[in-house]
Chains A and B, each alone.
Chain A
Amino acid sequence: EDQVTQSPEALRLQEGESSSLNCSYTVSGLRGLFWYRQDPGKGPEFLFTLYSAGEEKEKERLKATLTKKESFLHITAPKPEDSATYLCAVIMAAGNKLTFGGGTRVLVKP
C-alpha cells in the first residue's frame, strides 16, 4: 500500500534555529513529490515540486531535497512568519491523485 509519512508531527523552533522536516514514502512509480504550506483556516499553498532523486529546489529560507525514499524540507534561519503546517504529497506514475502525509506543524518563536 502506498504510504506517505511525515516527521516530526510538530516542531517548535526559536527564530534563527535551522531545522529539517522529513517526508518518507513507499509508493510504486513516483512521478512527483510536492511540498505545500498551510496556514490555519486556509487552503494549502504550493511550494515545490520534485521529480527525481537528487533534485533540489529553493525558495527564500526553504530548500527541498529528494532521494529515492524520502524528501527533506530544510528551513534555514526561520522567522515567526514561517510558522505553518507543511504538507508533503506524492503523485504516482498512474493517475493524478495526491497522497498526502499527515503534515508537520511548525511554530517559530521570536
Chain B
Amino acid sequence: GAVVSQHPSRVICKSGTSVKIECRSLDFQATTMFWYRQFPKQSLMLMATSNEGSKATYEQGVEKDKFLINHASLTLSTLTVTSAHPEDSSFYICSAISPGLAGGPETQYFGPGTRLLVL
C-alpha cells in the first residue's frame, strides 16, 4: 500500500511556542491530505482538509488561526500549532488520498501520527 510519513513522531514544547508537523506521501502524489486529532480511547476527529495550492478547509469548531495548514507541494502538507497550550496536547494524524482502483473511491492512507505534549 501507499506510504505516508510524519515528522516528528513526538514533540514536547513549552506553552506559547509554535510547533510544525510535516506529512509526506512517499510513493504517490496527493492533491488532498487531511489532518486529524485523536484523544485517548476515542476515534479520529477530522480537523481540516488540505488541498495542494489552495487554502485548507477547516471543520466546524477548529480555529484556523491556531492550526495553520500549508500544502505547498503534491507530497507535503504541514500543520503548525501556533501559540500552543496544554489543551493542544494530543495525537495528530495526517492522511493522504491515493487514487482508487477500477473507478472506485480513493483510499486514504494514514501517517504514523505525532504525539504533541505542551508543558
Contacts and interface: CB of A to CB of B under 8 A. Distances in A.
Q: Does B bind A?
A: yes
Q: Give the size category of B's interface with A.
A: 20 to 34
A34 B1 CA distance: 14
Contact of B112 (A32, A42, A102, A103): A42
B32 A44 contact: no
The DSSP consensus for interface residues of chain A is strand
A49 B43 contact: no
Interface stretch (A12-20, A74-82, A90-98): A90-98
Interface in A15-65: 31-32, 34, 36, 41-46, 49, 51
B108 A34 contact: yes
A72 interface: no
A41 B10 CA distance: 10
Interface residues of A, number: 22
A26 B37 CA distance: 24
Interface stretch (B67-75, B76-84, B99-107): B99-107
Contact of A43 (B46, B104, B113): B113
Contacts of B32: 96
11 contacts: A32-B100, A34-B108, A42-B113, A43-B93, A43-B95, A43-B112, A45-B110, A46-B1, A46-B109, A49-B105, A96-B49
Interface of B: 1, 4, 6, 32, 34, 41-44, 46, 49, 91, 93, 95, 97, 100, 104-113, 115
Interface of A: 31-32, 34, 36, 41-46, 49, 51, 87, 91, 96-98, 100-103, 105
